Amino acid sequence: MGRKPCCEKVGLRRGPWTSEEDQKLVSHITNNGLSCWRAIPKLAGLLRCGKSCRLRWTNYLRPDLKRGIFSEAEENLILDLHATLGNRWSRIAAQLPGRTDNEIKNYWNTRLKKRLRSQGLDPNTHLPLEDSKLDDTEDDTDDEGGDSSDVTMSDASKSEKRSKKKSKPKETVKVRQPKGPKPAPQLKMCQSDEGPVLLKVPKAPKSPISVNPGPGCNYDDDSEHSSSSTVTTKSHEDHRDSSDFIKALTSVSSFPEAELWSCIKPITNSFSSTALLSEWDSYRAFDSSLFPSSYPQLNSGLPKLEDVNSKSSAVASPVQGMLPAYNPMGMEMQTRMQFSSQLTHEIGQNYGGIFQETCYPQPDMGMSWSMHAELSHCGTESLFATPNPANAPSNFEEVPQPSPCTTSQELQRLAALLDLI
């Protein structure tokens, strides 16, 4: 109310950011860290207001952003959280590592609201819609709450837009199949000789999220998967040791073996070699089935996905209310979590801000899937491009920890706690 704008707007750029602007901002923040947002544009040589810089950074340039299509598990988590938290997007986002409140909000408005309506549920209350409302599945009803929304939408363009929509007879409108979000360029911070640079992360051959990899899923009739994992291996009761784990990892990445050793060795020492090898086999089984093109040279020696699935299904989840976790070969769940967490944390810290722990409970898929998906999605080759510990961005200390909430009751409990604070 009568407050001065956050900055002098005269002469400042607005609208979409250019890649040069992105570079300047990223490079400044990488070198100097986050300080006063108002000062940043000047220091970074940008003709933007501080607020615009902050938004650009938090919603788009931050190295820990996940981007890409929301998984079904994420969708469900958003729905659960929204049921208890309402439109508190930032709180919801806090439970979804790598996602921003803006992203979730957009996703909610464009997809999830409709999904709820199509299920006959009120997006606000998550309760069944009354019959009268049920008939009206049009999007225009998103003014639910009724009369209030128009108060803020005073401008003519909006109502014009709306009347345009309404003027079209319902029957003639063909609903476009929702597609995945626009594949925004995935930018990650890397170090070059000249300093930090923004690199486009190569797209994964296929989004892992479009496939349900959970233990409950059935791959048997899925030719897409079976085609790539036709090679059977004997199981791994054999004489391999943890060095095989390292070799296997090295074989599909540009990660130098020596570097890998120094990074991972301390962790591997704490785990049995059988556990490590099982872990690695399970990665390969899933990854090769989803991204066969990434594994042309590895078709011999891959474990069978069916084997992995059959064994994983027997493992009970350690979290009440969750489905059995994907936990191939019976590695004890806590051990597995500990291993994954340590491994990704270690790599992230030593090798730049690309590899990150995004492991969190996923009711449909078990604990560790998302971490694996992240690995695949970034493209293994790009993960270890700059193995220079000295260049690791300082902000990579913020490795997200597994979220503590999974079930509806837990979510409600969390919401209640948040409200108390």
Q: Which residues bind DNA (CB under 7 A)?
A: 1, 3-4, 6, 13-17, 35-38, 50-52, 54-56, 58-60, 87-91, 101-103, 105-107, 109-111, 139, 149, 152-155, 157-158, 164-165, 168, 172-182, 184
CB of 87 to DNA, least distance (A): 4
H or E, element range at 188: strand 187-192
Tokens of 7: 């900055």
Q: 55-74: string of b/e by CB count within 10 Å (b at 16+)?
A: bbbeebbbbbbbbbbbbbbb
CB of 15 to DNA, least distance (A): 5
Map residue 121 onto helix, strand or coil.
Answer: strand
Choose between 166 and 247: whose C-beta lies nearer to DNA.
166
CB of 262 to DNA, least distance (A): 36
Residues 6+ away with beta carbon under 8 Å from 336: 275, 279, 327, 367, 368
Compute and round to an integer the Cα radius of gyration of the chain.
24
Q: Residue by residue, what is the 3-state secondary structure of 189-258?
A: EEEECCEEEEEECCCCCCCHHHCCCCCCCCCCCCHHHHCCCCCCCCCCCCCCCHHHHHHHHHHCCCCCHH
CB of 180 to DNA, least distance (A): 7
Sign of the dihedral through C-alpha 102, 106, 112, 113: positive
CB of 188 to DNA, least distance (A): 15
Bridge partners, 234 (sequence order): none
Choose between 185 and 318: whose C-beta lies nearer to DNA.
185
Tokens of 168: 């079209």
Choose between 168 and 239: whose C-beta lies nearer to DNA.
168
Give the count of alpha carbons within 13 A of 199, CB side only: 18
CB of 102 to DNA, least distance (A): 5
Choose between 4 and 234: whose C-beta lies nearer to DNA.
4
Map residue 128 onto helix, strand or coil.
Answer: strand
Choose between 75 and 101: whose C-beta lies nearer to DNA.
101
Q: What span, in angstroms and rounded, lies between the C-alpha atoms of 248 and 281?
A: 9
- AA identity, residue 176: R
Choose between 56 and 345: whose C-beta lies nearer to DNA.
56
Going by C-alpha positions, the residue among 325, 396, 327, 314 that lies closest to residue 363 is 325
CB of 118 to DNA, least distance (A): 11
- AA identity, residue 118: S
CB of 84 to DNA, least distance (A): 13
Q: What span, in angstroms and rounded, lies between the C-alpha atoms of 332 and 272?
A: 11
Going by C-alpha positions, the residue among 40, 61, 43 that lies closest to residue 51 is 40
Cα–Cα distance list, 304 to 184, 221, 332 (Å): 34, 15, 21
CB of 291 to DNA, least distance (A): 22
Choose between 156 and 390: whose C-beta lies nearer to DNA.
156
Bridge partners, 391 (sequence order): none
Choose between 182 and 234: whose C-beta lies nearer to DNA.
182
Choose between 124 and 235: whose C-beta lies nearer to DNA.
124
Choose between 180 and 256: whose C-beta lies nearer to DNA.
180
CB of 221 to DNA, least distance (A): 26
